[in-house]
Amino acid sequence: MLKKAYLETDSKTINNLISRGDYPYLTFSTYEDYDIIDIASDTWNKIQYISVDEDGNILGYFSFNPSQTSQKLSGGYFVKFRYKDYYSKESEVICDADFREFIDTCMNNPLFMRLEFMAITNNNANKTYERWMDEYYGERHLLTNYTRLKDGNFYDVYLYWFDRDKREELKTL
């Protein structure tokens, strides 16, 4: 079940979940640190949701930074938590469905005309993002040696870019 993060959890809980996992390609495309999440008290400056199962276990965290003036969602941050104590195939299905609902809601939000986020090129999640490019008429741009991760190395990233105007134009053709 997809829930607003600020109503259901706090920064300490989410940061603890992130610290328990191994996320070699975890990075922010904003000013924040690699794995420090600050749960906002509303959705004006950050749109943050969590995926939870029926027992209340947090399965995932998804967020975007909205800019009302430029009508853009950027700095996407998506992480699925996979821990031995409550990970199962069922939790994977729940988290995937919640992630899809989050993305659909963001892509179809009438207040925002553009959605963009970055992902390290080696990240397996890029397979999912590639499918979205077809569905939402997106673009992908390669940025070479763009970001430095915790290991001290620089990595190439893909910038994924989705414009509502382009989608609506192509749908009418």
How far is the C-alpha of 31 from the C-alpha of 75, rounded, in Å?
10
* Mean model confidence pLDDT for the chain: 86
What local confidence, expressed as pLDDT, does residue 27 receive?
61
Instruction: State whether the Cα torsion 34-39-40-45 is positive or negative.
Output: positive
Average pLDDT (118-137) is: 90
Q: Is the pLDDT of residue 132 over 80?
A: yes
Q: How confident is the model at residue 170 (pLDDT cuts 50, 70, 90)?
A: low
What local confidence, expressed as pLDDT, does residue 4 receive?
95
Q: What residues have CB less than 8 Å from 50, skipping those under 6 apart?
A: 2, 3, 4, 5, 8, 9, 14, 58, 59, 60, 61, 62
The side-by-side arrangement of strands in the sheet containing 58-67 is 2-4, 47-52, 58-67, 72-80, 114-120, 154-163, 139-148
Residue range 2-171, CATH number? 3.40.630.30
How far is the C-alpha of 158 from the C-alpha of 77, rounded, in Å?
14
Q: Which three-class secondary structure state does DSSP give residue 61?
A: strand
Average pLDDT (101-110) is: 92
Q: Is the pLDDT of residue 84 over 70?
A: no
Q: Is the pLDDT of residue 91 over 90?
A: no
CB 159 within 8 A of CB 138: no
How far is the C-alpha of 60 from the C-alpha of 80, rounded, in Å?
4
* Listed range (1-10, 38-47, 55-64, 161-170) with the worst mean pLDDT: 161-170
Note the pTM of the prediction, 2 decimals: 0.86
Q: How confident is the model at residue 29 (pLDDT cuts 50, 70, 90)?
A: very low
Q: How confident is the model at residue 169 (pLDDT cuts 50, 70, 90)?
A: low
Q: Is the pLDDT of residue 90 over 90?
A: no
Q: Is the pLDDT of residue 139 over 90?
A: yes
Continuous segment of H or E residues that includes residue 14: helix 11-20
Q: Where are the domains of the chain?
A: 2-171
What local confidence, expressed as pLDDT, does residue 165 receive?
76
